[in-house]
Structure 1
Amino acid sequence: MTGSMMAFFGWIVVASGIALLPRRVHGPGAAGLVVAGIPLAGWVTYQNGPFWGMAAIAAGASILRWPLIHLWRWVRRHLPGHVE
């Protein structure tokens, strides 16, 4: 197993640990996971190929689904022509 995959599995363990913490930690924890996860997904792609890179991105998106949902809602709200 490559170092990038071991680091990514460690990222998954840390994400699961953050999910067990109180809600007030979720926001900063999610931000830290995104900051660490984007270059980590790039490293996985570089070492293991695009299939595993996309799998890493999909796994990260499934773990961080609520921050992605809130980002999507914010983007849609700020697009021109959006009616509330």
Structure 2
Amino acid sequence: MSLSLIIGCCWVLAAAVTAMLPMRRQLLPGLALLMVAPVLIGAIGWDYGWIPAIAAFAAFVSMFRNPLKYLWKWAKGERPEIPK
């Protein structure tokens, strides 16, 4: 197993732990995971090709669908509500 897959597995575990935190404590680790994901997906794509990279991207979008929806609405100029 390559380093990119080992780091990817650690990323998935960190995302799962972050999802179990209360909403107010998810912000900083969630942002860090959100920023690291494209680099990690690129590394997986570099090592294994575009099909595993697409699978990793699909998993990323599935895990971060709500933050990505929020960022999309915010980028469009809307003011989405943050859950408590």
Q: Which TM-score band (shorter chain)?
A: 0.7 to 0.9
Deviation, structure 1 residue 77: 3.0
* Higher-Rg member (1/2): 1
Residues 34-83 of structure 1, C-alpha deviations (whole Å, 9 max, x = no match): 121111111000001000111111111111111111012123336xxxxx
Q: How many residues align?
A: 78
| Structure in which a larger fraction of residues adopt helix | 1
Distance 1:9 1:62 in 2: 16
Instruction: Show structure 1 runs of 4+ deviating over 6 A.
Output: none
2:68 partner letter: L
* CA RMSD between the two structures: 1.3
Q: Which residue of 1 aligns with 2:81?
A: none
Q: Which runs of 5+ in 1 are unaligned?
A: 79-84
Q: TM-score, normalised to structure 1's length?
A: 0.83
Distance 2:15 2:54 in 1: 18
Identity %: 29
Distance 2:2 2:31 in 1: 26
Q: TM-score, normalised to structure 2's length?
A: 0.83
Answer with 10-19 or 66-75: which moved more: 66-75
Q: Which residue of 2 aligns with 1:70?
A: 70
Q: Which runs of 5+ in 2 are unaligned?
A: 79-84
2:7 partner letter: A
Q: Which residue of 2 aligns with 1:11?
A: 11
Distance 1:39 1:19 in 2: 21
Distance 2:21 2:75 in 1: 28
Residues 12-34 of structure 1, C-alpha deviations (whole Å, 9 max, x = no match): 00000011112112122221001
